[in-house]
Amino acid sequence: MNRPTDKAVDAPRACFIAAGLDVLGERWALLALREMSLGVHRFDQIARNTGASRDILVGRLRTLENQGVIERVQYSERPPRYEYHLTTSGAEVAPILISLAAWSSTWMRDETPRASYRHSCGADLKPVVSCAECGEEFTPGSLMLGPLVSAAGTDPPSDQ
C-alpha cells in the first residue's frame, strides 16, 4: 500500500540543516555562543553583550545546556553562581560563526561601524572551506543531498 514514491502529503524536508537550526537557530543562541567563544562566561555580561533580555537568555542557555552545547560551571557556593562554558560540541560551532562573520563582512556594506573578526594569525577573516576527502574547495552548488541517516555514519565523538 506504500510504493516508495508515495510521499505522505509532502512533509517538510528532515535534514541536518533543519535539525541544527532547531538547536542553534533560536534567537540569541548563536550570539550567546559567540560570547563564550570570546571568553565571556557570566550571565550578566552575556546579557549585556548580546542585548538579549534576561528571561529569554535564561531559556536559551538552558536549552543549549540540555543539548550538550554548553555547560554550567559553578564558581561560587554561597550564593550559588555559575559560569557558562562551551563543551566540545559548542566549541565546534566556531565554523558556523566564522562563515557567518565572513559572509556578513563581505555583503553587509552599509555605513554602520561594526567589530570585525580575524584569524589568530592576525589576518582579516577569510575562511576557505574545503572538502576533507578530496581537498577541493567547496563552491556554491557543491552541497548535495545524501541518503537518510539516523546517527552519523561513523564515530560518535564522546563529549569532553
Q: Which three cell numbers stand for residue 87?
A: 563543551
Choose between 45 and 88: whose C-beta lies nearer to DNA.
45
Choose between 63 and 89: whose C-beta lies nearer to a copy of itself.
89
65 makes contact with DNA (CB under 7 A):
no
83 makes contact with DNA (CB under 7 A):
yes
Judged by CB under 7 A, which stretch of 81-89, 95-103, 128-136, 148-156 contacts DNA?
81-89
Choose between 80 and 153: whose C-beta lies nearer to DNA.
80
The only residue of 23, 31, 37, 42 in contact with DNA, by rule CB under 7 A: 42
Whether omega for the bond prior to residue 113 falls within 30 degrees of 0, making it cis, is: no
DSSP 8-state symbol, 100: H
Strand, coil or helix: 63: helix
Residue 145 to residue 139: CA distance in whole angstroms: 15
By the 10 Å C-beta count (0-12 exposed, 13-18 middle, 19+ buried), 102 is classed as middle
Strand, coil or helix: 70: strand
Shortest CB 78 distance to a copy of itself, Å: 27
The only residue of 15, 81, 95, 114 in contact with DNA, by rule CB under 7 A: 81
The only residue of 45, 66, 99, 116 in contact with DNA, by rule CB under 7 A: 45
